[in-house]
Amino acid sequence: MIKITFPDNTVKDFEAGISGLEIAKSISNRLAKEVLAITVNDTVWDLTRPITEDATIKLHTWDDKEGKDAFWHSSAHLMAEALEALYPGVKFGIGPSIDMGFYYDIDLGNGTVLTDKDLPAIEKKMLELAQCKNTYTRSEVSKQEALSYFTDKNDEYKLELISELEDGTISFYKQGNFTDLCRGPHLPNTSYIKAIKLNSIAGAYWRGDEKRPQLTRVYGITFPKKKFLDEYIVMMEEAKKRDHRKLGKEMELFTFSQNVGQGMPIWLPKGAQLRESLETFLKRVQKKFGYEQIITPHIGNINLYKTSGHYEKYGEDSFQSIKTPQEGEEYLLKPMNCPHHCEAYKFKPRSYKDLPVRYAEFGTVYRYEQSGELHGLTRVRSFTQDDAHLFCTPDQLKDEFKKVIDIIFIIFKALDFKEFTAQISLRDQVNREKYIGSDENWDKAEKAIIEAAEEKGLNTIVEYGEAAFYGPKLDFMIKDAIGRKWQLGTIQVDYNLPERFGLEYVGSDNQKHRPIMIHRAPFGSMERFVAVLLEHTGGKFPLWLTPEQAVIMPISEKYNDYAKKVLNSLNNSDIRAVLDDRNEKIGRKIRDNELKKIPYLIIVGEKEVTENTLSIRKQGEGDMGLMSIDQFATFINKEVEDQLSSIENY
């Protein structure tokens, strides 16, 4: 017999060799139908894999990330089987699950090109194969056997992957007529997959190397119930309407130019105003929390990033070095702000009485992303982080960490992000070599994050292996208006950079000590945050944030002079107003400006000119009656101030 410990610490005895599926059946038949995978001692397994020793387990359903991962990874294998049936000789790269579905990179060979028109036939074949109820069977083979199998199959991509694995046993998975190199886990059988949608086709270089062959990447998503697919299709239609690239163009917020370079956004006047409003808002909040603004250069000596460890970890993802013409010094376009902030801390001796030091900067950084990975504002090569670094004593750490959580709460309240989960990102429990610093410091940093999250009452999940190379972090995963999840906001605890940069303060014992560093970026990056915000709001921003708060629309040209007088007066009252003096009927102007989502529409005609008033309409609510120019200015400014005050006092 073996002892199985459940998440609530209940311990039950089972016969050795029992599977996760059998454990689920012992609890209830309903759970057995819904469970998709099992975590055994921190590793996700197949439900059918025998458990032979005492273990701590957790069963995963569709509601869990681990459940979806197993479901979509199994679906990638199902798609590969369908492709092999339809396109004999096809070769396969990698086929992982992703945040929403899965993909497989394939090489059809012989110049065969896959198009969107081919996807329905592949979907049909997948459904046919799913209904066969073929078992996903795991087997373990030697490295030589694995090489021999894929040599016979003439698949150079799998051979390359296998050649890089250590000697020993390698796991294969087979379902139906398809066998793949795979770590797993997978579903018990293909019949779990009830609904299928293949979304798109893209090009992807093998191993992300532009000098290697370009493969065809097929994206898809599957579900255990058809109604989930129907809901997904509705969500995707809504997502198309909210696509930040489409809205950004329509609202004239940003653009891209091949002459400037891929992944380098140009912020147009309205987009610049939107960014400025976000920055002003965060600076206002930060000031109340004791932050000081600093500004650092866009480049730095290469040795700065070697000291921090960023060059070793991310040098290949940075733009390559710039050399000075005479001295031969090497510089990099700044990939991170934190090393610069460490140098700012060092500029003078520090006492424990000076701490915490809180430096904030809207710092633009540059990272090389492959052209195939670029996507609107969500994946760019030049972006601005709302970065801040706090330097504190051990006694101050938890309190400072909780104050950063408060700032993130304020931002979520301001922008109506109501649903979110806090992800505690810790070290990989096995592969520790990718992290810098001592286990002792890592243990203290992880403990501080876990305790702070508990004390703030956060709804948390723990992800191992997701920590930064220098420290653990707390990442905030928000759900937008149509149910999609995004990572926004991060807080990281770092004992290692202060050590690498030799940061010190003199304690109350008159001895030198190392400060602890907190990295935080509530927005993350301005580019990605604006993209998410656009798609969350559909472009309808709160009054304090929207680039255009009011539009003045004269009924005819003879009222243009009065409209310009109103425009000048409102702008002088810090109201972001614009003039629509097109030679169009007023009904057309109202419709056009409502589509632009401008909150207040001001109509001026004979009556308004005579009485020195404004006729006001509110977006989505209709006529508000007449106001004087001063009354309207006071009304708008009060509404903005009330919005900001209620948010900051949250």
- pLDDT tens by residue, 534-584: 999 998 999 999 999 999 999 999 999 999 999 999 999 999 999 999 999
Rounded-to-integer distance, Cα 21 and Cα 36, Å? 9
User: Residues 370-386: pLDDT tens digits?
Assistant: 777 788 999 999 999 99
Residue of 65, 197, 283, 367 marked active site: 367
- According to the CATH classification, is domain 254-296+337-537 in 3.30.450.40? no
* Active-site annotation holder among 186, 242, 381, 389: 389
Whether 60 is catalytic is: no
Cβ–Cβ under 8 Å, residues 47 and 20: yes
Question: What are the residue ranges of CATH 3.30.980.10 in the chain?
Answer: 75-239
Give pLDDT tens digits for 223-273.
999 999 999 999 889 888 899 999 999 889 999 999 999 999 999 999 999
Q: φ, ψ for residue 232 (rounded to 5)? A: -65, -40
Residue 452 pLDDT exceeds 70: yes
Q: Is 186 a catalytic site residue?
A: no
For CATH 3.30.930.10, list the domain ranges present in the chain.
Answer: 254-296+337-537
Indicate the pLDDT class of residue 432, thresholds 50, 70 and 90. Answer: low
Average pLDDT of the chain to the nearest whole number:
91
Q: Tell me, yes or no, if 385 is annotated catalytic.
A: yes
- Known catalytic membership, residue 133: no
Fold topology of 550-648: Rossmann fold (3.40.50)
DSSP 191: G
In 10 A of CB 316, how many CB atoms?
Answer: 8
536 marked as part of a ligand binding site: no
* Given 385, 396, 423, 492, the catalytic residue: 385
pLDDT at 430 over 70: no
647 pLDDT tier (thresholds 50, 70, 90): confident
Q: The whole model's pTM is what?
A: 0.80
pLDDT (mean) for 410-437: 82
Contact 253, 277 (CB under 8 A): no
Superfamily of domain 75-239: Threonyl-trna Synthetase; Chain A, domain 2 (3.30.980.10)
pLDDT tens profile 492-545: 888 889 999 999 999 999 999 999 999 999 998 999 999 999 999 998 999 999
Predicted confidence (pLDDT) at residue 39 exceeds the cutoff of 90: yes
> What is the pLDDT, as a whole number, of residue 619?
86
More confident residue, 17 or 323: 17
Catalytic one of 270, 403, 513, 519 = 519
Residue 628 has pLDDT above 90, yes or no: yes
152 catalytic residue (yes or no): no
Judge whether residue 637 has pLDDT over 90. Answer: yes
Per residue, the 3-state secondary structure of 278-308, as one string, reads HHHHHHHHHHHCCCEECCCCCEEEHHHHHHH
Report the pLDDT averaged over residues 617-636.
92
pLDDT of residue 482: 84
Please name which of 76, 135, 141 lies closest in space to residue 102, comparing C-alpha atoms.
76
pLDDT band at 440 (very low <50, low <70, confident <90, very high): confident
Q: Which of 338, 427, 494, 528 does the annotation list as catalytic?
A: 338
341 is in an annotated binding site: no
Cβ within 8 Å of residue 24, ≥6 positions away: 31, 32, 35, 47, 59
650 pLDDT above the threshold of 70:
no
46, 105, 386, 387: the catalytic one is: 387
Angle at 71 between CA 66 and CA 74, to 5 degrees: 120
Q: Looking at residue 358, what is its pLDDT? A: 97
pLDDT at 221: 96
Q: Is the pLDDT of residue 390 over 80?
A: yes
Domain with CATH 3.40.50.800 in the chain: 550-648
Confidence band of 429 (pLDDT split at 50, 70, 90): low
Round to whole Å and give the CA distance between 316 and 551.
48
Residue 127's pLDDT is what? 97
- CATH code 3.10.20.30 region(s) in the chain: 2-61
Please tell me the predicted confidence (pLDDT) of residue 437: 77
Query: 389 labelled as ligand-binding?
Result: yes
Is a pLDDT exceeding 90 seen at residue 316?
A: no
Given a cut of 90, whether residue 107 has pLDDT beyond it is: yes
Strands in 522-621 per DSSP E: 550-554, 577-579, 600-604, 613-618
Mean pLDDT of 316-338: 82
Pick the catalytic residue: 73, 340, 473, 528?
A: 473
Q: Which CATH number, 3.40.50.1100, 3.40.50.150, 3.40.309.10, 3.10.20.30, labels domain 2-61?
A: 3.10.20.30
pLDDT attached to residue 356: 96
pLDDT, mean of residues 450-470: 85
| 379 flagged as catalytic | no
Question: Average pLDDT of 278-289?
Answer: 93
